[in-house]
Structure 1
Amino acid sequence: MGEIIFDAAVTLNGYLADENHSLGWLFEIPGAGEPDPDLLPSNVAVHVEGSHTYQWLLENEDLLAHPEKWQQYYPGVVTYVFTTRDLPVPQGADVRFVSGDLAAVLPQIREVAGEKNIWVLGGGELLGQFLDLDALDTLAMTVAPAAVRGGAALLPRNIGSDRLELVQAKQAGPFARLVYRIKR
């Protein structure tokens, strides 16, 4: 079985997105549009994300008008989107909409991933559910030199230092890269 990895960019003050569900703050930072591929999770079979993350990606990358970008960015990756809304799917993309409790869907997600990794892209509440189930293996953050007034918090939960083991802290251009293993 592969690992379940949460990996996302976050502001200095702990937000994944601003109050308008936008990641625009991130792409104002030089180099943010072309991240170091060595920083991204490898051997990924499944993405898991919330509807705001998915919708922002669709709109920001214009994926409905240019579905070939989806294949370029996510070749062979199945995407699970937790939502209660009807959302469009780029042509040729394997996007599966689910709702409700993560615990009910997690066995299916693990089965689809097989021996490969599962990359949780956001949001914070979804991350919290993975932690609640003790299903997360790695928490990775690329901390940006930016702050926003409010928005989607990285983690709307308490998590004690007894559950986190720092395994990497390094500079990545103007960013700080932090990687924690989750202790069971």
Structure 2
Amino acid sequence: MTRTSYYTASTLDGFIATDDHSLDWLLSRDIDQSGPMNYDDFRARLGAGAMGASTYEWIIDHENGAWSYTLPMWVFTHRNLTAPAGADVRFTSAPVPEVHAEMVEAAAGKDIWVVGGGDLVGQFHDHGLLDEVMVQYAPVTVGSGKPLLPRHVELELREVARNREFACARYDVKR
């Protein structure tokens, strides 16, 4: 069964990026790439993904136009954006439930990753389409920024682990 997951890192005070979209607080941290709740193991479960336009633009800007995702990725936007050559990027402003149905079909039994940001994840939740939240909490606070999840979401803790500097938690969304 396809599950829709939000996998991300957060500061202790609940932000996924600073006000100016910086991830410097995250990129300087020590994490074991094959440790508990690591990205590669999570990535192996995935068949499709979704992200917001700001996340997409951050990736394009900080990776010098390179695109490392091999799965089909829907980018929710009202902006006029272009995809890197050869990338399976699908720009959309369609309603989340309509796009989610397309994603489930493309995922072919694998899971779906809502990359970010928090508001887009909230929209999936609002339509009952979010199943799981996985967060790697970094030992830092930034005071303000882009919130982890700017909605009221009820979660049930399923797993907790330590991965070097990170406290990792996996939650199921309560229905």
TM-score, normalised via structure 2 length: 0.90
Ranges in structure 2 where 5+ consecutive residues have no aligned partner? none
User: How far does the alpha carbon of each residue in 1:129-168 deviate from its partner, in whole angstroms, 9 at most, with x for none?
Assistant: 11111111111000011111211111111123xxx22111
- Alignment match, 2:26: 26
Ranges in structure 1 where 5+ consecutive residues have no aligned partner? none
Mapped to 2, the partners of 1:30 and 1:170 lie a distance apart of: 15
- Alignment match, 1:132: 126
Give secondary structure in 1 for the equivalent of 2:49.
Answer: strand
Give secondary structure in 2 for the equivalent of 1:142.
Answer: strand
What is the correspondence of 1:104-183 to structure 2 with a 5 Å cutoff?
A: 104-160=98-154, 164-183=155-174
Mapped to 2, the partners of 1:150 and 1:56 lie a distance apart of: 18
Mapped to 1, the partners of 2:97 and 2:170 lie a distance apart of: 25
Mapped to 1, the partners of 2:138 and 2:17 lie a distance apart of: 12
Give secondary structure in 2 for the equivalent of 1:146.
Answer: coil
1:82 aligns with 2:80: no
Give secondary structure in 2 for the equivalent of 1:157.
Answer: coil
- Alignment match, 2:10: 10
Number of equivalences? 171
- Alignment match, 1:50: 52
Once the two structures are aligned, what percentage of the paired residues are identical? 37
TM-score, normalised via structure 1 length: 0.86
- The root-mean-square deviation of aligned C-alpha atoms, in Å, is 1.7
Paired amino acid for 1:99: S
How far apart are residue 100 of structure 1 and its match? Answer: 4.2
Give secondary structure in 1 for the equivalent of 2:22.
Answer: coil
Mapped to 2, the partners of 1:169 and 1:52 lie a distance apart of: 29
Mapped to 1, the partners of 2:88 and 2:94 lie a distance apart of: 20
Paired amino acid for 1:39: N
Q: Is the contact between residue 49 and residue 103 of structure 2 (CA under 8 Å) also seen in structure 1?
A: no
Mapped to 1, the partners of 2:75 and 2:11 lie a distance apart of: 23
